[in-house]
């Protein structure tokens, strides 16, 4: 395995913005390069680690704190953790950042209309019809990061461009050697 520093790369954004797609592409490149990584996907975490939590603000915050706790454990043990979670509230994202320390925030940004067009699960349609209550971006707020290390505009850039930005940020922060991005293409 390549020598590596632990870091949590936290992908935040609306449902359908492209968090999982970018996370998977970054993960594939890191694995090919021999890095030890772990993906913590918000949907899978809700099925397994935080099953009893609902979608109130308190439950959403608790969900993010639990993902943050697992991320902190992995990060301090030298793992590159890729978190893909809507994590709509700025304050709890900042709280998790402070606890983990080695943290890179990636704002996966796409306009609401674009996210709705990409909605393969039909969640936005259900939220707009009232079937789903407390849906981020429709009936619940999303607070975009004020100063993310990376902003991926998935409505304006290619997947490769988004992935390159993530690698550039990891290199700039000293988590990856500078040749990592060159090998991502």
Q: For residue range 27-85, what is the model confidence (pLDDT) as tens digits?
A: 999 999 999 999 999 888 888 877 778 788 888 889 899 999 999 999 999 999 999 99
Q: Name the band, by pLDDT with cuts 50, 70 and 90, for residue 185.
A: very low
Any idea what the CATH number is for the domain that residue 76 is in? 3.40.50.300
**Can you give the pTM of this predicted structure?**
0.91
Cα-based angle 13, 79, 19 (whole degrees, multiple of 5): 15
87 is catalytic: yes
Helices (H), the chain: 19-32, 42-48, 57-76, 90-100, 112-117, 123-128, 159-172, 179-182
Is 68 labelled a binding residue?
no
Q: At what angle do helices 90-100 and 57-76 cross, to 10 degrees?
A: 20
22, part of any domain: yes
118, part of any domain: no
86, part of any domain: yes
Write out pLDDT tens, residues 80-135.
Answer: 999 999 999 999 999 999 999 999 999 999 998 898 899 888 888 888 888 888 78
CA dist., res. 57 & res. 62, Å (int): 9
Which residue out of 56, 71, 84, 87 is catalytically annotated?
87
173, part of any domain: yes
Is 170 labelled a binding residue?
no
Burial class (CB in 10 A: 0-12, 13-18, 19+), 44: exposed
State the total domains in the chain.
1
3-class secondary structure for 72-109? HHHHHCCCEEEEECCCCCHHHHHHHHHHHCCEEEEEEE
Is 129 labelled a binding residue?
no
Q: 148 with 47: CB under 8 angstroms? A: no
Q: Which domain holds residue 168?
A: 7-110+142-182
């Amino acid at each position: 395995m390549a020598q590596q520093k632990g870091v949590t790369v936290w992908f935040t954004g609306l449902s359908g913005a492209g968090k999982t797609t970018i996370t998977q592409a970054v993960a594939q490149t890191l694995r090919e390069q021999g890095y030890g990584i772990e993906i913590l996907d918000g949907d899978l975490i809700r099925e397994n680690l935080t099953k009893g939590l609902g979608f109130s603000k308190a439950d959403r915050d608790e969900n993010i704190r639990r993902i943050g706790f697992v991320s902190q454990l992995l990060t301090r043990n030298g793992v590159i953790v890729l978190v893909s979670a809507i994590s709509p509230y700025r304050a709890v994202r900042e709280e998790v950042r402070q606890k983990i320390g080695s943290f890179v925030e990636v704002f996966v940004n796409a306009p609401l209309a674009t996210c709705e067009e990409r909605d393969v699960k039909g969640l936005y349609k259900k939220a707009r019809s009232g079937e789903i209550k407390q849906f981020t971006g429709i009936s619940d707020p999303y607070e975009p990061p004020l100063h993310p290390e990376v902003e991926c505009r998935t409505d304006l850039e290619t997947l490769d461009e988004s992935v390159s930005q993530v690698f550039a940020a990891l290199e700039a922060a000293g988590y990856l050697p500078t040749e990592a991005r060159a090998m991502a293409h």
